[in-house]
Amino acid sequence: MLSFFRTYTPYQYISLTVVLLIIRLPFLVSPLPLLIPELNWMLVGEQMSQGHLLYRDIWDSVSPLSALVYWMLNALFGRSQGALHAAATLISVFQIAYFNYVMNNHNVFPDRNFWPGLLYALFLHLSFDCLTLSPVLLSTTFLLLAFGTLIKQLDRQGVTDDVFEVGIYLGLAALFYLPSAVFIIWASAALLMFTGATFRQHSLTLFGFGFPIAVAVLYYYLNDSLGDLNRNLLASVFRVRQYAPTDYRTLVVSLLVPLGIAVLGFFSLFNPTNRYVNFQQRCQQIMLFWSVAALLTIALMPFLAPMGFLISVPPMSFFAVIYFQNARKTWLAELTFTAMVALMLGIFYQGALGLLPNTDLGRLSNLQVKPSLLPADIQNQKLLVIGEDLSAYRNNRPATPYLNWELAKYDLRNLDNYEAVVNVYDHFRKDPPTYIIDRENVVEKLFQRAPALGAMYRPTSTTGVYQRRQ
């Protein structure tokens, strides 16, 4: 396959798209399991389409531009997992084509070919959860655009005011996935160390980065929700861990092959027989800095899953290309690539389809939406689920802002505070749930603190489930 994509002709972009679609073709027949984050994002989009304001009326830590995308998808397709996957595939095609274009158009590697796009397409399939439209995938698009603009600056005799675009792209990336904000350090370091950027141009980059963020802050200020933005987004990135950690074995196995090839590619740079021009060496250093910035985002991830490491796909693909280009024997490179494809797709399909019996490896069981234990008659109802398990929302609608349990704790775990009780009462009054699903044993205390709410609900025959009185 490497020899086929060595040819540099425009039709190979179609070939890359076909490769991507072939990998994903089995899921047209066997749909993927619904993941808790996917359900959460669909619920956010659904609530926003009903006129609720994110952070004020929907307590969740998803970044604002990602939420806007989920709102638009909900407006067009309703609560559809297929819409998330279709949109993710379109964005993946753009990323693959753009990454390959930048690498070849600016001669980042000694040879022009379609290996960058091929490896990028393969590395997008770390695990089946990478097929959905995650905030990380959306954000990585703008990080790639920032990289492309940054490369233009390296390829010129002097730095231009286009560095403002770099800042804009990074600011938008942060609004899609807040941990991406650390990449402003990556861009600033690259401009400082590898270009002759002036203080004014560094300031332009920072201003570009801050401008879209300032617009978002101004929007929430004008809607009298600045405190909600701070609590549910800005502050939560350092504290909120939305879901229990996923299977660490799956995470390690998913990253082992692409990361291993990328590391081998990096060390192959130290071979004295390799010759790179100064521009190519600076590109390699910038991608190394990208890897460091991607490592910094791990501490800020809302949950650990392979999809969170899509932000590392560009540097892994970059150094993997170097590994295969530096391979001295063509047959060995082909053999290594074939083994890599077999291992990665084997892990990918095992997680998605459960090919191996009696093993949970790759299945991401902790992130899958479990069958609801609610009575069968609770369908298409307004619920409040108190706890991390969102499965009850699969066939129901959320009520009150308390969608994210980690954020809901500010009120529901603080019922000895008068202001918290008043907040809960006001939210119930504005958007009362038909049923309360209490998985954290807080409802009895809530009813003691707010007897008016206690009078509105009665316990059902199912433990922890309360129904609103008619």
* CA angle, 126 then 130 then 135, to 5°: 135
pLDDT at 195: 79
CB-based contact 186:146 (threshold 8 Å)? no
pLDDT, tens digit, 9 for 90 and up, residues 68-97: 999 999 999 999 999 999 999 999 999 999
pLDDT, tens digit, 9 for 90 and up, residues 272-327: 777 788 899 999 999 999 999 999 999 999 888 999 999 999 999 999 999 999 98
Residue type, 74: N
* CA angle, 366 then 410 then 235, to 5°: 80
pLDDT in 10s for each residue of the chain, 470 residues: 888 898 888 889 999 999 999 999 999 888 899 999 999 999 999 999 999 999 999 999 999 999 999 999 999 999 999 999 999 999 999 999 999 999 999 999 998 999 999 999 999 999 999 999 999 999 999 999 999 999 988 866 556 778 899 999 999 999 999 999 999 999 999 988 887 778 888 899 999 999 999 999 999 999 999 999 999 999 888 776 666 556 788 889 999 999 999 999 999 998 877 778 889 999 999 999 999 999 999 999 988 899 999 999 999 999 999 999 998 888 899 999 999 999 999 999 999 988 888 888 888 888 999 988 888 889 999 999 999 889 999 999 999 999 999 999 999 999 999 999 999 999 999 999 999 999 999 999 999 999 999 999 999 999 999 999 97
pTM value is 0.95
* CA angle, 60 then 304 then 226, to 5°: 25
Nearest to 455 by CA among 447, 443, 464: 447
pLDDT at 178: 96
pLDDT at 47: 96
The owner of tokens 């072939």 is: 22
Domain ranges of the chain: 4-353, 382-468
Nearest to 216 by CA among 229, 203, 205, 227: 229
Provide the 10 A C-beta neighbour count for residue 142.
23
CB-based contact 178:311 (threshold 8 Å)? no
Strand partners, 397: 382
Strand partners, 438: 386
Cα–Cα distance, 121 to 24 (Å, whole number): 11
Residues 6+ apart with CB under 8 A from 395: 372, 379, 380
Residue type, 184: I
Nearest to 140 by CA among 368, 310, 371: 310
pLDDT at 158: 59
Using CB atoms within 10 Å of the CB of residue 411, give its burial: 0 to 12 exposed, 13 to 18 middle, 19+ buried.
buried
Question: Three-state secondary structure along the chain?
Answer: CCCHHHCCCCCHHHHHHHHHHHHHHHHHCCCCCCEHHHHHHHHHHHHHHCCCCECCCECCCCCHHHHHHHHHHHHHHCCCHHHHHHHHHHHHHHHHHHHHHHHHHCCCCCCCCCHHHHHHHHHCCCCHHHHCCCHHHHHHHHHHHHHHHHHHHHCCCCCCCCHHHHHHHHHHHHHHCHHHHHHHHHHHHHHHHHCCCCHHHHHHHHHHHHHHHHHHHHHHHHCCCHHHHHHHHHCHHHCCCCCCCCCHHHHHHHHHHHHHHHHHHHHHCCCCCCCCCHHHHHHHHHHHHHHHHHHHHHCCCCCCCHHHHHHHHHHHHHHHHHHHHHCCCHHHHHHHHHHHHHHHHHHHHHHHHCCCCCCCCCCCHHHECCCCCCCCCCCCCEEEEECCCCHHHHHCEECCCCCCHHHHHHHHCCCCCHHHHHHHHHHHHHCCCCEEEECCCCHHHHHHHCHHHHCCEEECCCCCEEEECC
CB-based contact 381:435 (threshold 8 Å)? yes
Question: Three-state secondary structure along 411-466?
Answer: HHCCCCCHHHHHHHHHHHHHCCCCEEEECCCCHHHHHHHCHHHHCCEEECCCCCEE
- Direct distance between the N- and C-terminal alpha carbons of the chain, in angstroms, rounded to an integer: 66
Nearest to 133 by CA among 76, 75, 82: 82
Cα–Cα distance, 423 to 431 (Å, whole number): 12
Q: Which two tokens stand for residue 412?
A: 């529901």
CB-based contact 217:231 (threshold 8 Å)? no
> What's the CA dihedral at 100, 118, 70, 163 to 10 degrees?
-20
Phi-psi domain of 244 (left: phi exceeds 0; alpha: psi -120 through 50; beta: other) = beta
